Amino acid sequence: MQHYAELEQLLGKIEAEMRAWSLWSATPPADSALQSLQPFCIDTLSFWQWVQWIMVPRFRQMIAQKLPLPQSSEMMPMAAEAVVASGIKSSKLIDYFAELDQLLTTPH
């Protein structure tokens, strides 16, 4: 149960930092863009769009329904690459994704 609370708190931090850097969009991508079979929807979405429209909602659904969380995560390298590519100066986002990876790889 504690992992769910920690995950929700971390998702809130990621969302807040993305909003602070104007990476959180009010306009959803096309439905077809959300149907990609590629990891991170790399062929149809930016990493930040994937975080907002796929990762965060799925995790929140898992929390609400008390579904099992993934047993491992390695999103920090993608986040670090996306921070550089976006030209933003936020080590917080990289840190939050490192925390997310750690949380999900810790036995729960």
- Contact (Cβ atoms closer than 8 angstroms) between residue 7 and residue 103: yes
Q: At residue 108, does pLDDT exceed 70?
A: no
What are the pLDDT digits (tens) for 13-72?
Answer: 999 999 999 999 999 998 888 888 887 788 889 999 999 999 999 999 999 999 999 999
pLDDT band for position 107 (cuts 50, 70, 90): confident
- Contact (Cβ atoms closer than 8 angstroms) between residue 101 and residue 79: no
In the prediction, which pLDDT does 6 show? 95
In the prediction, which pLDDT does 1 show? 60
pTM: 0.90
Which amino acid is present at 55? M
The number of helix segments (H) and strand segments (E) in the chain equals: 5, 0
